Amino acid sequence: MSIRLWRAGLPGLAIALVPLTQGAAHEIVGNRFFPATLGIDDPGVNDELSIPTVANFHTGDDPSFRQRDISGEFSKRITEAFAVSFGSAFSSFKPPGGPTGMGASGFQNFETTFKYRVFRDPVHEFVMSVGVNIEWGGAGADSVGAESFNHYTPTVYFGKGFGDLPDTLSWIRPVAITGQVGYSIPARNFTTTFGIDPDTGDPTVDTEFHPRVLNWGGTIQYSMPYLKSAVVDLGLPDFVNHLIPLVEATLQTPVSNTLTSGTMTTGTINPGVIWVGNTFQIAVEALIPINRQSGTNVGVIAQLHLYLDDIDPRGIGKPIFGGPVQPASPFPRN
């Protein structure tokens, strides 16, 4: 599941931060397990539940607001290669120096994502998926910036492990990269607001253009489970052998219809770690703004993620069309 950056509705706030074949649970490509990541979506197609995802950070406004998000997402496979996910977030904003109870809170717009895995190469540990995310306008609260019109974001996702490197580079084999590139298209090009100038009493007209935005990012990961199972067992503690340290980047760049938004790239760099179990994972990352417009201070995001396809492979974790999946451990064997 990925955390999104919202246009807040409070005064002064700006942008904050299919084949019917039987397969294996999780996105395991050859010996490579691609975990769910917090900043961008992973390249897999799975039956999973992220609940809760909790984030705390300061927006890039001047003065900065503290934003807290609690979100959840449920992903369900229709076939072995095609899944639909549903999610939303509850946001709260606190103004700087404001007393408890000040600010605003409410749900963001509901989102639906359709994702289809188009290619998987076990030998080279490569996987690619395509999808489209729909943010349903008007489903959330105006007070937290939920817009009244839809956004459509076609997206490409990919993952590549380096397990195919030669023996001389065996220590790099546990490394993997993932990435996504999406193009967010608002259903409305602009919004015009009519008002009255409080000083002169004259009518005013304010037009805000809604930009089309390139949502892009990636991760670099080092899998300790892969190191133990597919490279060398160093005899490390079992807890360490379940860890995947990683760094994520989540970035947004307005690319058209930018008359009122500008074209500055905003986003965060998120170093963190994932602890992977057989039926769930726990992850925590720092949120480091890349510039002043992306936020102030370092935030944090954490998530509990459940692998439904391993918890109940013949029930809720089974594709709607097709046979039950074979439970597959995130810990590969030689």
What pTM value is reported for the model? 0.88
What digits encode the pLDDT tens for the residues 153-194? 999 999 999 999 999 999 999 999 999 999 999 999 999 988
First to last CA, the chain: 30
Residue 2 belongs to some domain of the structure: no
**Percent of the chain scored above 70 by pLDDT?**
87
Residue 239 belongs to some domain of the structure: yes
SS3 169: helix
Residue 328 belongs to some domain of the structure: no
Number of domains in the chain: 1
Residue 176 belongs to some domain of the structure: yes
What gap in Å lies between CA 310 and CA 319, rounded to an integer? 12
Phi first, then psi: what are they for 56, rounded to 5°? -140, 125
What digits encode the pLDDT tens for the residues 295-318? 999 999 999 999 998 899 888 999
What digits encode the pLDDT tens for the residues 221-268? 999 999 999 999 999 999 999 999 999 999 999 999 999 889 999 999
Distances (CA, A) of 200 to 196, 197, 203, 204: 8, 6, 9, 10
pLDDT at residue 98, as a whole number: 64
Residue 6 belongs to some domain of the structure: no
Residue 172 belongs to some domain of the structure: yes
**Domain extent for 306:** 28-311
SS3 89: strand
Residue 205 belongs to some domain of the structure: yes
Q: Which one, of 66, 144, 160, 64, lies nearest residue 108 by Cα?
A: 144
User: How high is the mean pLDDT of the chain?
Assistant: 88
Note whether 230 and 173 are within 8 A (CB). Answer: yes
pLDDT at residue 324, as a whole number: 63
Report the largest interatomic distance among the alpha carbons of the chain, rounded to a whole angstrom: 77
Residue 185 in tokens: 């298209």
Mean pLDDT throughout 77-88? 96
* Of 139 and 14, the one with more pLDDT: 139
Residue 258 belongs to some domain of the structure: yes
CATH number at residue 42: 2.40.160.40
What digits encode the pLDDT tens for the residues 50-75? 999 999 999 988 788 999 999 999 99
pLDDT-derived band at 82 (thresholds 50, 70, 90) equals: very high
Q: What is the DSSP letter of 246?
A: E
pLDDT at residue 290, as a whole number: 97
pLDDT-derived band at 331 (thresholds 50, 70, 90) equals: low
